[in-house]
């Protein structure tokens, strides 16, 4: 029995410590295999992309051989394909286990039809993810962020497979695959005039889009949080909205008193249409909760003459405006629902006018001290 690193170019077996292939001199990756004899026949078994895992598997097979437990796999045994396990086992399990099942399923569908994954699970290697990455770069315009989300789901699925099928795939071959570096485009916020133009454009579009955009602009609530509002979540007495099924899983209650004059008349109109249903924003034709408002939102954007502003820009706009108004990061987090205060600092780039005003005041202070006998020493004062 022995451990080898297989060359991805010429497929020859090399010592695990070699840096280059002994045959073609290509730089070796991390594609470890173990070899052993059983019943007079040699077998080559993939052991993952970690040398430690390969050595552990080698020891495991030696132990099994000494105990007489090591047997050749049954030729009649059909090793399941990746796609079959996902659709027959992973997705049914994830449907009950994951809050983000819908998003996970959508990510899986993005990678499902890649030819490199259409093989038995014991034949999947880390090179398949490399091939998927090349395919995405060559034939799609997806961003690094989108590709990484898809790859993360694929790796999670493989972890599930390794837990369920340890006898076939003892080690996760995709565990150490490195994701792409993300260079996220800075999301812009709307100006006050743009926000008002958008709200004006939403009026008269349909019974719901104005209220949805209004709540987003004044509270920074996410689209899903708004569309999940039930009538019982609207407290007329306290003038609050309770957002449930939030991103961090915690309910959040926010006031609407600061824009009640705009919101309450809209809620009254909506109540005449959907008041008999559980959700505020319900399709009266089907009786189901609204989940997609893209068409109405895009139509309003076009009418307002606004470009490059997806719905999440409204959350960015609200938080940036709170920052402009002088709210602290902690105060903003009470409304936005951010648990990590550092995330809110992303919005500080929009607050350059405040920074400029602050530094101008600093200059005026320095100038006011010129000519005086003693300039105020901040460090001494601190002591």
pLDDT tens readout for residues 284-319: 889 899 988 999 999 999 999 998 899 999 998 888
Residue 220 CB partners (closer than 8 Å, separation 6+): 314, 315, 317, 318, 319, 322, 335, 336
Share of the chain above pLDDT 90, in %: 21
Share of the chain above pLDDT 70, in %: 86
Over residues 209-223, the mean pLDDT reads 93
pTM of the entire structure? 0.55
Bridge partner list, 246: none
- The per-residue pLDDT for range 68-90, each reduced to its tens digit, is 777 765 554 578 888 888 888 88
Over residues 220-224, the mean pLDDT reads 91
Is residue 96 pLDDT above 90, yes or no? no
Is residue 207 pLDDT above 80, yes or no? yes
CB of 13 closer than 8 Å to CB of 6: yes
- Torsion sign over Cα 347, 348, 353, 354: positive
DSSP-assigned letter for residue 239 = T
Is residue 365 pLDDT above 70, yes or no? no
Q: How many residues does the chain have?
A: 383
Which pLDDT score is estimated for 295?
Answer: 92
Which pLDDT score is estimated for 194?
Answer: 92
Distance CA 131, CA 111 (A): 12
Is residue 343 pLDDT above 70, yes or no? no
Q: Residue 378: pLDDT band by 50, 70, 90 thresholds?
A: very low
* Selection from 300, 105, 337, 321 nearest residue 208 by Cα: 300
Which pLDDT score is estimated for 382?
Answer: 43
Which pLDDT score is estimated for 356?
Answer: 59
Is residue 381 pLDDT above 80, yes or no? no
Burial class of residue 236 (count of CB atoms within 10 Å of its CB; 0-12, 13-18, 19+): exposed
Distance CA 211, CA 79 (A): 54
Distance CA 75, CA 39 (A): 14
Q: Residue 263: pLDDT band by 50, 70, 90 thresholds?
A: very high
Question: Residue 222: what are its φ and ψ, rounded to 5°?
Answer: -75, 160
Q: Residue 376: pLDDT band by 50, 70, 90 thresholds?
A: very low
Distance CA 238, CA 254 (A): 10
- The per-residue pLDDT for range 127-154, each reduced to its tens digit, is 888 888 888 888 887 888 888 888 888 8
Summary mean pLDDT of the chain: 82
Helix (H) or strand (E) holding 155: helix 144-164
Query: What is residue 37's three-state secondary structure?
Result: strand
Over residues 344-354, the mean pLDDT reads 57
Strands of the chain, DSSP E: 2-6, 13-14, 32-38, 41-48, 234-235, 240-243, 252-255, 282-283, 288-289
Is residue 280 pLDDT above 90, yes or no? yes
Q: Residue 246: pLDDT band by 50, 70, 90 thresholds?
A: confident
Is residue 373 pLDDT above 60, yes or no? no
For residue 173 the two structure tokens come to 């071959």
């Amino acid at each position: 029995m022995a451990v080898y690193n297989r060359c991805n170019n010429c497929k020859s077996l090399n010592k695990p410590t070699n840096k280059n292939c002994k045959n073609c001199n290509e730089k070796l990756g991390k594609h470890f295999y173990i070899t052993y004899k059983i019943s007079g026949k040699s077998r080559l078994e993939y052991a993952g992309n970690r040398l430690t895992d390969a050595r552990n598997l080698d020891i495991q097979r030696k132990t099994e051989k000494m105990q007489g437990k090591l047997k050749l796999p049954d030729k009649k045994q059909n090793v399941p394909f990746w796609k079959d396990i996902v659709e027959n086992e992973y997705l049914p399990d994830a449907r009950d286990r994951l809050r983000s099942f819908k998003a996970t399923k959508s990510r899986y569908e993005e990678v499902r039809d890649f030819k490199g994954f259409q093989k038995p699970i014991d034949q999947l290697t880390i090179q398949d993810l490399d091939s998927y990455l090349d395919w995405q770069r060559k034939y799609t315009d997806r961003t690094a962020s989108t590709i990484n989300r898809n790859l993360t789901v694929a790796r999670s699925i493989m972890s599930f497979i390794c837990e369920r099928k340890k006898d076939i795939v003892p080690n996760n071959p995709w565990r150490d695959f490195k994701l792409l570096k993300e260079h996220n485009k800075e999301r812009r916020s709307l100006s006050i005039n743009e926000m008002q133009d958008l709200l004006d454009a939403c009026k008269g579009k349909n019974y719901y889009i104005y209220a949805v955009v209004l709540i987003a602009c004044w509270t920074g609530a996410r689209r899903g949080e708004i569309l999940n509002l039930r009538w019982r979540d609207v407290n007329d007495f306290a003038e609050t909205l309770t957002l449930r099924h939030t991103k961090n899983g915690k309910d959040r209650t926010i006031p609407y008193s600061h824009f009640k004059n705009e919101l309450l008349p809209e809620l009254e109109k909506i109540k005449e249409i959907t008041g008999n249903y559980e959700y505020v924003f319900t399709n009266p034709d089907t009786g189901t909760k609204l989940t997609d408002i893209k068409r109405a939102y895009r139509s309003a954007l076009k009418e307002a003459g606004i470009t490059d502003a997806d719905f999440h820009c409204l959350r960015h706009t609200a938080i940036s405006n709170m920052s402009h108004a002088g709210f602290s990061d902690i105060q903003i987090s009470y409304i936005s629902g951010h648990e990590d205060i550092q995330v809110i600092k992303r919005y500080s780039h929009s607050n350059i006018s405040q920074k400029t005003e602050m530094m101008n005041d600093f200059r005026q202070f320095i100038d006011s001290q010129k000519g005086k006998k003693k300039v105020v020493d901040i460090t001494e004062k601190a002591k």
